[in-house]
Structure 1
Amino acid sequence: MTTAFVGTTTDSGTELPQIPDPGKVAPQDARELTRTFLEQLAVLEEGTQEYQYARNTLIEMNMSLVRFASRRFRNGGQDMEDVVQVGTIGLIKAIDRFEISREVQFTSFAVPYIVGEIKRFFRDTSWSVHVPRRLQEARSELARANEELGSRLGRAPRVSELAALLNLTDEQVVEVQIAANGYTSASLDAAITGDGEDGEAALSEFIGEEDTALQLVEDFHALAPLIAELDERDRRILHMKFVEEMTQAQIGKELGVSQMHISRLTSRILARLRSGMLTTD
């Protein structure tokens, strides 16, 4: 059974549904509402209250995707709460980079980002590393905040709640949480208790896999001369979008043009490169 949500018109004239608890939205409602909020996010100005509300609501509504993707890593030897929090970073990146013009469901677009972020987490925390002093100090503050909020709320605090208490961003809180894993190490041959009939498996079985990106080496070699033929502005746009991972709004601000103009330029550049790749012997 779906739920009706009351809408409100913002100062910019945008109609945004008001959702009291986005985390409890039914899956069938979440799919439809996600598209609505993504459409609004594309036209709202970054930094405004409306933009932040739409972005935060999208994160809360789609946390079920993070929990779903995290289940495959439940025997990876890490605390599942940490895995979910890392997956949330992937979800945030997917929301920021999704373009409504794509002919793809947001779920299909977001899951690879979530899984990729979790895999990177396992890769980077499989051995002891040096932790910067600022993160060591923040780790102690985060532990106290966890205890305080946990006692007050009667449950484990969310990343957003910890960030508000510590006056940090969500990404900074997760960074500190990840840094805490740098104090321990484990052998790749370490036995991990599993749920199946075998009982145990090695850690290496969970984090090792074939690198499919190796298959793209030939394509990269073919693409390089095509990029070299682009003018300086087009190469700069590609660099800002795919290397610096800037949003279209950020690129537009940098170049002094609208976000929509950057979208059109990006589509034109990619179409030209795609055509060149198809005609390359």
Structure 2
Amino acid sequence: MKTFLKPLSAAEEQFYLLQFQRGDPEARNILIEHNLRLVAHVAKKYQGCDEDPDDLISIGTIGLIKAISTFDPCRTSKLSTYAARCIDNELLMMLRARKKRSREVSLYEPIGTDREGNEISLLDIIESPPVDVVEDCFQRENILHLLRHIAEILSPKEYHVICCRYGLNGQEPRTQREIARELSISRSYVSRIEKNALQKLRTLFPKNH
């Protein structure tokens, strides 16, 4: 069983928070090490979710690091109270993301083949409406046309945002907020890039379509 360092006293905590705010990286490490017991305490309530305890501690530690980096003593009196919320939020986000991925895998996993030998997933059976063959062929043609020309008319940043947003090139679709974090820009700026890119892509199709 892992052993953790004892929590800091209130005076010690204030001292190291001040040192960290002044740019001392060692103070940050001390704050993390002495609050790992709190991570373990919060993570314990999720151990019945079939998750590896070490994974829970690792994810919870990310929440602790975020808490220490963003803690404002003027808004919250105790670091432990604020950190517990951040740790809990990080664990919840991880569990929700894994649950979502597990649903996607189960829905998309092949369960057989059709008459032409194409793989069929559970999602195909659940959600497939009656197909208009002519409309389906037209849509496929439009998609291929779009994919052939998308990189030619978009800037590199627009191309990256569109690929991330709509899951192109084998990626999982991502939210504007996730893309904004990756590119270190605001979500509203990502929204503008996406809007401009889509406007450009509309020019690929004739007006009568």
How would you bin the TM-score normalised by the shorter chain? 0.3 to 0.5
TM-score, normalised by the number of residues in structure 2: 0.45
TM-score, normalised by the number of residues in structure 1: 0.34
Work out which structure has the larger RCO, using CA pairs closer than 8 Å and 6 or more positions apart in sequence.
1
Q: Which has the larger radius of gyration?
A: 2
